[in-house]
Structure 1
């Protein structure tokens, strides 16, 4: 399975000069923990950073920095870790674990933002797969009872 078929295509995005308040409102409205900072080029969005709800709390609120004194571009993590649509789910999990991140933007062949995969998504996908495996065991047992 590749990320092309698994990633969430509905990604919250912001421009570098957007306010922290705008980003926080987006996260609240869509019940998300991040906003991907993008630059628009030739009609496509290219990811250049990420701001998480944790960034806002740890870097601004806990340090008593006024949120209206910085933009998402000021706060964003610039060392953005990206995955490609062609990457496998297992490659994404390995990368997220290696980098210690919970959110992984996914880009297309040209580097434009295509989607995102999160730790929550991975838990949901894994749970579905485990449920399928458990169903297989039950189905096998039921068939065995019919035969014997």
Structure 2
């Protein structure tokens, strides 16, 4: 299965010039804990970094910094891991595990943002797959009972 099939296409983004306060307000308004920092390149929104609610708390608030004067470029994670939408889910999971990241932007082959995938999205996918695998046994037993009646 390709990672693009399980990612969320509803990605909340901001520019690198967004203040931390504006980022927090954007997160609250959209009920998300992650923003993808993007730059427009040739008409595409290209991921440049990622900011989480945890970054805001640990880097800005806990240090007593002013969220109105700090920009997301100052706190965003710039070593950004992305996955191309055609990449295999399990290949993506392996890279996420190796890097220790819980969310990654999904891009098209040109590098334009198409979605985001989180560990929760992958859990949902895997639990559905396991459930369907469990149904194989039930279906097999049902078919066997029907075949024996003949």
Settle same-fold status: TM greater than 0.5: yes
Pairwise CA distance, 1:61: 1.6
Q: Which residue of 1 aligns with 2:49?
A: 49
For 2:16, the equivalent position in structure 1 comes to 16
Q: CA deviation at 1:113?
A: 1.1
2:88 corresponds in structure 1 to 88
How far did 1:65 drift? Answer: 1.6
Please say which of residues 91-100 and 63-72 is displaced more in the overlay: 63-72
- Structure 2 length-normalised TM: 0.91
The aligned counterpart of 1:4 is 4
Q: RMSD of the alignment, in Å?
A: 1.4
User: Which has the larger displacement, 18-27 or 99-108?
Assistant: 18-27
The separation in 1 between residues aligned to 2:26 and 2:138, in whole angstroms, is 43
Instruction: Please say which of residues 17-26 and 120-129 is displaced more in the overlay.
Output: 17-26
CA distance in 1, matches of 2:126, 2:145: 29
What is the deviation of 1:146?
Answer: 2.6
> Counterparts of 1:89 and 1:115 in 2: how far apart (Å)?
14
- Structure 1, unmatched stretches of 5+, are none
Q: Which has the larger radius of gyration?
A: 2
- Unaligned 5+ runs, structure 2: none
Residue 108 (1) aligns with residue 132 (2): no
Q: Name the CA distance, whole Å, in 2 between partners of 1:137 and 1:18.
A: 53
Q: How many equivalent pairs are there?
A: 148
Tell me the CA shift for residue 22 of structure 1. Answer: 2.1
Deviations 1:64-114 (A, max 9, x none): 222112011111111111111121101110010000000011111111112
Q: What's the counterpart of residue 143 of structure 1? A: 143
The alignment partner of 2:31 has SS state of: coil
- Kept in 1, the 8 Å contact 2:103–2:118? The answer is yes
Q: So what's the TM-score if we normalise by structure 1?
A: 0.92
